[in-house]
Structure 1
Amino acid sequence: MARKRIGMKKIREVIRLKSTTEMSDRKIARALNISRFAVAKYWQGFNSSGLLFEQIKEMADSELLRLVEKPRIEKCNKYQQLIQYFPHFVIELQRTGVTLHLLWQEYKEKHPEGFQYSQFCHHFLMWRKSSEVRMHINHKAGDKMFVDYAGDKLTYIDRKSGKEKRVEVFVAILGASGLTYAEGSVSQEKEEWIRSNERAFWYFGGASDAIVPDNLKSAVSHANRYEPEINPDFAEFAEYYGTVIIPARVREARDKALVENAVRLIYQRIYAPLRNRTFYSLEELNVAIWDHLEEHNNKAFQRLKISRRELFEKSEQKALRPLPAERYPMKTTIWRNVQFNYHVELREDLHYYSVPHYLYRKKPKTKVRMVYDDRIVALYYDNMRIAQHKRDRTPNGYSTIPEHMPSNHRFYSQWSPERIHRWAKSIGEEVDQVIENVIKGRKHPEQAFKVCMGILSMARKYGDKRLNKACRQANKFGTCSLKRIESMIKLGLEEEKQPQLELISTITDHENIRGSKYYN
């Protein structure tokens, strides 16, 4: 372990005692509680400078230290040579298969007189003590995105109510480059959480191999140190983007140290500059957040002399997974009972969707899993998809797939007023007129289908001509009764000409009866 340098006060005391007294190195070391080696080293450095004790009384500590340590610095030129490679090593170590040993071999090829492997590793590991540098070494490019909400909230004023609205701040950071994304969000609810993760992916231009969230309910349904239960909707989102969810372990700060450090920097570089500004919408607040976020991502690291954005473009951008053509369709999962009419209800829309009729049972009732988004409603039973419907928001409406219906229901479902009229016209115009009267006489067309089918089916038994003639008589009498039409055909009345009813006067003339002239 390297020795800790003694303080400047003791260095000055060494020079004073050696210059003004006859004390030996041993006595000076004992008096100052330092080693004899330290006394000899700093006195030798001072002597080599050619200065007198009186000349250093007003000299700055930094200047004096440079003089007394100059021989050691000159002797370590190869360290100064090595340290120039360290920022390059940080980037190279993020590449697959690159190790410190490989980098040392390349270094020795260029500088055969350079440090051996153990000293090479020691100097590099000591140099990277900065937290900003260490976080880039511990994570492979494109491997993980760490996400969390900041503990403190930002605010804006609602224009309508004039009330102050508190805003959650979502933070995401890529492990290798440290590129950061932040945005204001109305809540930590599931939909807001998923959309914030998605916007982070699109901001980065790709998806990481894994997402590391904290154990909030929107991400983890049941926290467990060894086998956490992921929120099913968040898991589907991860599957859509080809990534996986690896929650941070409970009460393990090291698992989320990276994002917590990012939150600390967000406080300093976004919260602080915005502290005296007033915003009147979430959108306005986010624009300000993103402006300062760009400054943060383009600011150079203290030691690397390269920004997060530049490091991302050099080492991590190409390692991210490509994004899909469309954004994730937000899905909701619920469980529903199959009703007696082999439909399940989406209560949000008051609309019903069909499932295969054989799934209906009285006891116990069959439950199916309904997964829906803005466009599609999918139904699952026994972990198998049994139906998929286009989402319909018509209240009290039914979306039915014919194959889900029993055979007798399917037969009637395939008939429509237009199809019945086409059949009636193929028999005769009079038949079509009767069918029209039957349909108009019912409140709903389907109520008339059975009567229409009965009338039209008589053509097979009695022939098209006889049925058309019978319907002509029915139209004259203003009736569309199935029984009357069938009775006319059975009795052969469809062939008879109906006598013209004439009004014949049978009243005799009488003197007490006034004629029509009386009323004129």
Structure 2
Amino acid sequence: MDKIEAIRNLAAQGWSQRRIARELGAHRSAVRRALEGRQTTSGDSKRATVMTGNPAPTQSMCDPFRESIEAKLDLGLDAKRIHRDLQSEHAFVGSYNSVQRFVKSLKEAAPKRIWRMEVEPGEEAQIDYGTMTIIEGEDGRLKRAQLLRVTLSHSRKSYSEAMPSQDCESFIRGLENAFRHFGGVPLRLCPDNLKAAVVKADWHDPEVNPKLLSFARHYGVSIMPTRPYTPQHKGKVENGIGYLKRELKGRRFGSAAELNEHLRSWECNVADKRIHGTTRRQVIEHFLAEEKPALKPLPEGLFPCYRESRRKVGRDGYFIVEKAYYDVPEQYIGRHMWVRWDARTVRILDSKLESVRVHARLAQGQFTQVLGADGRRGSFEESCGYYRSRCSRMGPSVAAWADGVLANRGEMAVRIMQGLLSLNGKYSKSQIDAACAKATLHGHYRLGELKNWLVAPARQESFSFLESHEIIRSPAGYDSHIGGASLFDPGN
């Protein structure tokens, strides 16, 4: 009894249970029982020996390192990490299970406080899913339904909807239906880290699904995902999911439409009219009086309906959407892009959600642009015209040589002109133009022959004889040298 009195006196002075147990050499659970005024049972005999004067209980191997373990718990370390640290820092020889039991006893003796989170009217809505197998198919087998529940945090007014999956489009339509049901929009949405909402979970800077961000901009609401594996951050809707499941337990529905009709009736006639255990007010009365006036008004139109996917651009520069092919600029080959499509358009956006290209929807198997001859987009005639125009910008003789290639080489002309253009970096335009003039003069329309004129510019050229020139004397001028007889007289 002296020990019990000492414990109570120290507690009255503000000492913690942990400190009292450490100073008196008692187990923390025994200290707690002494403060609560409970009697020890036979199962507590070992822990209560310090209170009765019997032999002391077996001491844990972790007791000598209590302060170090408590400090590591304050840092948020788990039992596995603490066990490793004890081995490396203190040559600890005990097992991991002994550390785990010791850590558990410390947490039970001094549980961490969880703060309640309450908000002002219209400030927040919490979102969560529940899953139940309650829909009977035509074959008699039960099917799973995803139960979305959206709860306004202040009044606990809720909206419930069953859907076949948790994909982003279904999630957004469910949120939109909830806003219409409430008659307004809250300032903030707090979803769980489901894939339809969060691409990469992170408490400080989560990567939210781009489509959900577009939805949030449309309705003027912010998205604040909860901390992963922390259900108390959305305790209001967590409790609401349990409340919903208790209502549906043991029931069967022939379709999702039948289930949703039951949910609408239940929300209106049961959930809305209950006196909530925390607010101590009727849910619908609380909502109408305080929360609904604080909600932001709904926008004029609904959020545009489209599908979305994050995909990698193929080496050919195309995306495949519904078995049709849509091209992007070459600099995006190999990169991940966002693709959004509806019944009319396909929009391609980069990682910053900036538009890269917009296409009209195509039928299956069609391409936005077709590769023509030798990689040129379009028909053969369009390819020829394209390369002919590029050649003409290098000089008039180059254009003339390209015309000769087109006239003499047929479909090979496109490749030959491509080869001609590739010479632009090795030789100057004037050199290429001069070589083309010589090649055209000799009727050389092969790329190898053109290259010969480039590498041997001093090569001797053959020309046709000229009939007249200022330095060439007329045949009549030679008559005086041969006695007046013409060299061209048939008689001489």
TM-score bin (small chain): 0.3 to 0.5
TM-score by length of 1: 0.44
User: What's the TM-score, normalizing by structure 2?
Assistant: 0.47
Larger Rg: 1
